[in-house]
Structure 1
Amino acid sequence: MIHIYLCEDDNRQLTRWKNTVEKYLLMNSTESQLYCAASSPAELLSIRKKSTVIGLYFLDIDLQSDKNGIELAQEIRKYDPRGYIVFVTTHSEMAVLTFRYKVEAMDFIVKDEIKTLPDRICDCIKNAENNYKTQLNASNRLLSVKVDKTSLIFDQDDIVAITTCEENHKIMIHTKNGVRQMAGSLKELNAILNSTFFQCSRSVIVNLRHVLKYSKEDAVLTMDNKETYNVSIRMMGKLQKALKQI
């Protein structure tokens, strides 16, 4: 998952960016989210500090604030060293400063080019998602689930649990950000999940990294998103061994 942040002091421009991003997210199968549309650096940083998810940042440079966009990018790097930063500005001559300040910008978009601006924003989202997918794959965290004619990409570390659904051949993928229902089976997913996952019953697979508490007496797992799952009797011994290895 990628959280998308926007920072632009002109409300009309900010609305255009926001509409472009929302349209992209609506038209594409993705777990990315528009997480913040701010008019000031302070507002964006306040929201950024509450998240642990990698971000994609579209920043104006001239923000009419105590920080310009490049200085804001420097602050962002303290919280999100691997995030993707894109500058959108009328000041094309300032592109060289992004290298001097070592903020590792992903792209530099001139906002005066109104006709191409939406496509450039969408291209940046696509590129960020592709790079993110490559990183997950390299670290054995990628989970690609087919949805209709496309694939939905999950970071396995973000998944709290996977459960069966009342509908046949449907599963529910639970993350801290919500639940997604899709076609599939626990057996199919269990074969491709990494070693942090454990099937605690016929209807539930949990990510052991998200276990907050295990009550042996009640045979119940409490997850860090406050959900609870029962553990079948035959899996209790295996679960205790698996928890010791995490």
Structure 2
Amino acid sequence: MKVFISDDQEPQRLWLTDIITAQLDALHFDYQMASVWQPNDVLAAVKESSGPNIYFLDIVLQREINGIQLASKIRDYDPDGFIVYVTVRDDMMPATLSAMTTPTGFISKTHMFDKAAFIPEVRAVLQVIQKRFVKYQQRPEPSLTVRSGALLLTLHLKDIVYCEKVHGLRTTRIVTTDQAYVVRKNLSTIKAQLTNGRFFNEFQSYALNLEQVVTVDFNKGRVRMQNGDRLSFSRGTIKKLRRVYQTQE
């Protein structure tokens, strides 16, 4: 778990870092404090992190985007992350809800630099995060279950690299990180279970695990997967995948 503090006022950011670090240690969090705070740097780090992470965001960031917009972009990569707004703009709380950033808490800067008043607010929010993180860890791993004849197959979604329609047959090839399975099921039936946001299901003959994609060559229509497989698509088809990455920019 990484902890990000994004505030463009350096004295406030450094003070927040000291206070939050001390409370994380006191509550025995297993965490890594991120060194970046600029919105673009935060997003780049989040893309490389598995999450869920903790984000303390100033709403009124005087940068290319404000804290609410940053939170919205963070949600594209860390939907289970814990977002906490630290701000003097209490009047902007409704905007954080309409932007659907699902914040875990709000901490007012009214008591900034007053440890006696500020620390209890930080501690209360971290205690809520601690409880919710325990629940998160106890959630069952999302899986795909397929019955094909006498075979009952259950696979963790994170282990599926891609699913491929076997042309001419009501059959699908499911490729995982360590082996492949051929099942007597339509690909459309399997796609119905691959709806957690991890999979790209708009190709007619494939379902791709986006977390298993290594490179995409849009000019040549080639996709290289984590297991080394290289998939080829027409230029017209690959355009569908391009739209996914364009929305994340």
Q: Structure 2 length normalisation: TM-score? A: 0.52
Identity %: 25
The residue type equivalent to 2:5 in the other structure is L
The match for 1:4 is 3
Distance 1:74 1:133 in 2: 24
Distance 1:123 1:32 in 2: 18
Unaligned runs of 5+ in 2: 142-157, 159-249
Distance 1:15 1:67 in 2: 21
Q: Deviations over 1:134-186 (max 9, x none)?
A: 1212338xxxxxxxxxxxxxxxx9xxxxxxxxxxxxxxxxxxxxxxxxxxxxx
Distance 1:109 1:24 in 2: 14
Taking only aligned residues, the RMSD between alpha carbons, in angstroms, comes to: 2.1
1:1-246 map, 5 Å: 2-38=1-37, 40-114=38-112, 115=114, 116-139=117-140
Q: Structure 1 length normalisation: TM-score? A: 0.53
Distance 2:87 2:67 in 1: 9
Distance 1:43 1:135 in 2: 26
Distance 1:99 1:30, change over 3 A: closer
Higher strand fraction (1 or 2) = 1
Distance 1:131 1:26 in 2: 18
- The Cα shift of 1:29 comes to 2.4
Distance 1:69 1:135 in 2: 25
Q: SS at the partner of 2:30?
A: coil
How many residues matched? 140
Contact between 2:8 and 2:62, CA under 8 Å: does it hold in 1? yes
- The Cα shift of 1:36 comes to 4.0
Distance 2:11 2:36 in 1: 12
Q: SS at the partner of 1:122?
A: helix
Contact between 1:18 and 1:37, CA under 8 Å: does it hold in 2? no
Contact between 2:4 and 2:36, CA under 8 Å: does it hold in 1? yes
Distance 1:86 1:27 in 2: 19
Contact between 1:7 and 1:59, CA under 8 Å: does it hold in 2? yes
- The Cα shift of 1:24 comes to 1.8
- The Cα shift of 1:37 comes to 4.7
Distance 1:129 1:68 in 2: 27
Distance 1:102 1:36 in 2: 26
Distance 1:37 1:24 in 2: 20
- The Cα shift of 1:51 comes to 0.8
